[in-house]
Amino acid sequence: MGRQRFNIHTHTARCGHADGTDVQYINSAIDAGFQILGFSEHIPFEEIRIKGARMFMEQKDEYLLSMRKLQQQFKGKIEIKVGFEVEYLEDYLDYLKQVKEECDYLILGQHLKYVHSQNEFYDYDCYCSDEDLFIYVEQIEAALQHDLVTYVAHPDYFMQGRRVFSKGCKEVAHRIAKASLEYDIPLENFGKLFLHMAVRFYMVMMRILLLLFLRETEKC
């Protein structure tokens, strides 16, 4: 297997938890031998205005315009894609579809259970109950059913709000793997969350994916 020559999960300083300029990211990608660099800034919500979490709504158009200019500036040197990392929230489905039309791609990073009024939202990294587990996987399944995203980022994100890898966690891993195969949407292998329980998640996930793949192969 050759070295990966692309990355489409890249944030910018606009989100508040990344550093450097857009051009610095592109030059670093070129130096690393990348052929494709995709920027996937966190999608803004009018209700969330917290520095360090994601860009504000008024930054969205500037982000898209800047990236379109950079696509032309670096044409022939590297292929630049512009996208967003999004959460599937049923109440915001029309908004997600609109944003998908404005960019090249979306990736799914299911951080949020819901967004309500100003700065009132529920993030799975704070606490993820047994009940939350199944809301989390239902949101992922729905996003894939609606054909919104190119791939699922850090599918183990819910483990940040967990202290125990339970039977429910294993069931969630099975459902995510099954949905990935059913809709032909890849899962990201994201090393940032590789704590002890996250390792268990990926071990379970890989075993499930292999078993499901072999089962489907036998049907052919």
Q: Which residue has the tokens 């592109």?
A: 26
pTM: 0.85
**Contact (CB, 8 A) for 209 and 177:** yes
Please state, in angstroms and rounded to a whole number, the distance separating the CA atoms of residues 127 and 66.
36
pLDDT digits (tens, 9 = 90+) for 47-91: 888 888 899 999 999 999 999 999 999 999 999 999 999 999 999
Please state, in angstroms and rounded to a whole number, the distance separating the CA atoms of residues 169 and 114.
20
pLDDT digits (tens, 9 = 90+) for 157-195: 888 788 888 889 889 888 998 899 899 999 887 544 444
Domains along the chain? 1-113 (3.20.20.140), 124-220 (no CATH)
